[in-house]
Amino acid sequence: MAAKVPSVALNNGRLMPVFGLGTWKSKPGEVTKAVKDAIDVGYRHIDGALAYQNENEVGDAINAKISEGVVKRDDLFVVSKLWNTFHRPDLVSVGLKKTLADLRLDYLDLYLIHWPQGYKEEGELFPKDAEGKFLYSDVDYVDTWKALEECVKQGLVKSIGISNFNSQQIERILSSATIKPAVLQVECHPYLNQKKLLELCKSKGITVTAYSPLGSPDRPWAKPDDPKLLDDPKLVELSKKLNKSPAQIILRWQVQRGVIVIPKTVNKTRLIENIDIFDFELSQQDMDYINSMDCGGRACVLEWVKDHKHYPFNIEF
């Protein structure tokens, strides 16, 4: 039976399911089946991005499930992200329309600025010079945000938000926005629990989505000796005590602290396992135990662009 996932109201009154499917690194050849299986077992929120280069295949799955009558477009919450080479205001609707064309949808439920730092426009998605150094754009993300607001007015997207923005960058957006960001999507898991950023967002009415909620073990730059969150002895101990998998425990911890989660998997057994977190509760003691695992461990550092003037992770949070 399909799982029932609760939703939260965003600051514009729209409802967003607290659990969704991540699609970064899901290969074009496997993502269509994964998204179809996900919809069949109750997923209604799909997280994608132009930079994942698989939106066409994600669109195949969404459109197949709509044609089959399994879901209606309105039942789904489809998220995508404006890539770094589309920050220039005149390119914002170009990036968004490419995503809509690939997905074969008329609108997105949520569109995020993927990163605050822009890259050189109108070429490769990951533009580099002959030495392999990234080529930057100096567009200010505040100007990008204004162009995103226009996309809402045109009906191309219902809600807009930001991703990988630090506290100062969030405040800068808020100080000039006519539409407040509905969502901040950031890396968040027990090794990087983002307590301060969550408090800031709560005080501003911004909902937080946790990306890489399982620690992103398949990130392309992972080294063999990097700590593996899902194998952490504290989680393994809790897993034995509660008879739930380590993944289920940390996904449940997030939704219980009011954070939306978007774990990625292309495996049907794990799709079902991950969404099966709405029939148990962690005690305050277990929540505190998981909170104590924070060590500032970040999987998506992108140290190769840390000299960009809008690089977000040079300050405490």
Residue 286 near residue 242 (C-beta atoms within 8 A): yes
The amino acid at 150: E
Q: Of residues 6, 29, 217, 258, which one binds ligand NAP by CB under 6 A?
A: 217
**192 binds ligand NAP per the rule CB under 6 A:** no
Among 42, 161, 190, 263, binds ligand NAP (CB under 6 A): 263
Residue 214 interacting with ligand NAP (CB under 6 A): yes
- Decide: is 211 part of the binding site for ligand NAP (CB under 6 A): yes
Is 163 a binding residue for ligand NAP by CB under 6 A? The answer is yes
Tokens, residue 77: 């919450």
Q: Closest separation between CB of residue 130 and ligand NAP, Å?
A: 27
17 lies in the site for ligand NAP, by CB under 6 A:
no
Distance CA 10, CA 259 (A): 12
233-242 vs 284-291: helix crossing angle, rounded to 10:
160
Strand residues in the chain grouped as ranges (E):
7-9, 15-17, 21-22, 45-47, 77-82, 108-113, 118-119, 136-137, 157-163, 183-187, 207-211, 260-261
Q: Catalytic pick from 43, 52, 111, 191?
A: 52
Residue 26, Ramachandran bin (φ over 0: left; ψ between -120 and 50: alpha; else beta): beta
Structure tokens at 166: 């630090």
* 157: three-class secondary structure by DSSP: strand
CA 122 to chain centroid, in Å, comes to 24
Shortest separation between residue 173's beta carbon and ligand NAP, angstroms = 16
CB of 139 to ligand NAP, least distance (A): 18
**Mask for 284-303, x = binds ligand NAP (CB under 6 A):** ----------------x---
Residues 219-238 that bind ligand NAP (CB under 6 A): 219, 230
Is-contact 217 246, C-beta < 8 A?
no
Looking at residues 98 to 137 of the shown chain, list those that interact with ligand NAP (rule: CB under 6 A): 114
Active site residue 43: no
Instruction: Choose the binding region for ligand NAP from 88-96, 97-105, 131-139, 214-222 (rule: CB under 6 A).
Output: 214-222
Catalytic residue annotation = 52
Residue ranges binding ligand NAP (CB under 6 A): 22-25, 47, 114, 163-164, 185, 211-219, 230, 245, 247, 262-267, 270, 273-274, 300
